[in-house]
């Protein structure tokens, strides 16, 4: 028997194509190929070619019928894209954003909203740190807060663009039994900016 892709017909009516099985609805014997379905085998760079339908000389009794494609069979697979990483810059981070006692994610797209958020983040400090400049014609700001939930640190770990959204991955480092050295009430936060986008922004949180 020659090498290459084989289609074999067993006596129980089973058609075998390189390990892929098509169960026949009827049994047939020897080299009788009248019950063979029409098959199309597409190789790399070749157009679909139907198996010949004209009568052929039956194979000798007790042997198997073999059909060899003119080109190799190629299996094509696709993997869903997980998106691509978008660059981002840290503007500020800390653990005393006391005006945010609960978890929060805030998207800032204007200078006025940015100034108001900055005052809230540093409301416990006097004087308030200088407001960092942001060009909102080109960038968007995202601020994430852990609140007073026992989280020791919060950070934006990754910003990823998919086909339909910007996904911001947030990682929180939580207080664990046996941790020592931290007794104060913390209000962790992290503020970042990245290139402006019209896509919706979605947040995902994970513990570390």
Answer yes or no: do 124 and 186 share one domain. Answer: yes
Cα distance between residue 186 and residue 146, in whole Å: 9
Domain-ending residue, one of 55, 77, 99: 77
Answer yes or no: do 60 and 104 share one domain. Answer: no
69-118: pLDDT as tens digits: 443 333 333 333 367 888 999 999 999 999 999 999 999 999 999 999 99
Answer yes or no: do 88 and 72 share one domain. Answer: no
154-173: pLDDT as tens digits: 999 999 999 999 999 999 99
Answer yes or no: do 71 and 99 share one domain. Answer: no
Answer yes or no: do 146 and 179 share one domain. Answer: yes
Domain that holds residue 24: 1-77
Q: Which residues sit opposite 22 in a β-bridge?
A: 15
Task: Using a pLDDT cut of 90, give the percent of the chain over it.
Answer: 48
Instruction: Count the domains in the chain.
Output: 2
Q: What is the DSSP string of 84-123?
A: EE---EEEEEESB-TT--S-EEEEE-SHHHHHHHHHHHTT
| pLDDT value at residue 177 | 73
Answer yes or no: do 98 and 26 share one domain. Answer: no
Answer yes or no: do 158 and 198 share one domain. Answer: yes
| pLDDT value at residue 55 | 54
Answer yes or no: do 200 and 138 share one domain. Answer: yes
| pLDDT value at residue 174 | 86
Answer yes or no: do 2 and 58 share one domain. Answer: yes
Which residue do the tokens 């990245």 mark? 194
Residue 92, burial from CB neighbour count under 10 angstroms (0-12, 13-18, 19+):
middle
Could you tell me the pTM of the whole model? 0.59
Answer yes or no: do 40 and 115 share one domain. Answer: no
Q: What is the mean pLDDT of the chain?
A: 73
| pLDDT value at residue 207 | 77
Answer yes or no: do 71 and 164 share one domain. Answer: no
């Amino acid at each position: 028997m020659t090498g290459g892709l084989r289609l074999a017909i067993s006596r129980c009516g089973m058609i075998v194509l390189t390990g892929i099985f098509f169960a026949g609805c009827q049994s047939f014997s020897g080299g009788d190929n009248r019950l063979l379905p029409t098959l199309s085998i597409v190789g790399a760079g070749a157009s679909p070619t139907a198996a010949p339908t004209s009568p052929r000389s039956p194979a000798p009794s007790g042997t198997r019928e073999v059909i060899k494609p003119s080109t190799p069979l190629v299996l094509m697979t696709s993997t869903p894209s997980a998106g691509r990483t978008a660059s981002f810059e840290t503007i500020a981070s800390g653990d005393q954003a006391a005006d945010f006692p609960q978890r929060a994610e805030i998207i800032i797209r204007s200078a006025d909203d940015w100034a108001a958020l900055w005052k809230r983040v540093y409301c416990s400090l006097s004087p308030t740190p200088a407001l960092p400049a942001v060009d909102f014609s080109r960038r968007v700001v995202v601020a994430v807060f852990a609140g007073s939930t026992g989280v020791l640190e919060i950070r934006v770990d990754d910003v990823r663009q998919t086909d339909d959204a910007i996904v911001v991955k947030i990682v929180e480092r939580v207080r664990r039994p046996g941790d020592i050295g931290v007794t104060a009430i913390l209000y962790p936060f992290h503020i970042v900016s990245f290139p402006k986008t019209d896509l919706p922004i979605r947040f995902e949180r994970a513990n570390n």
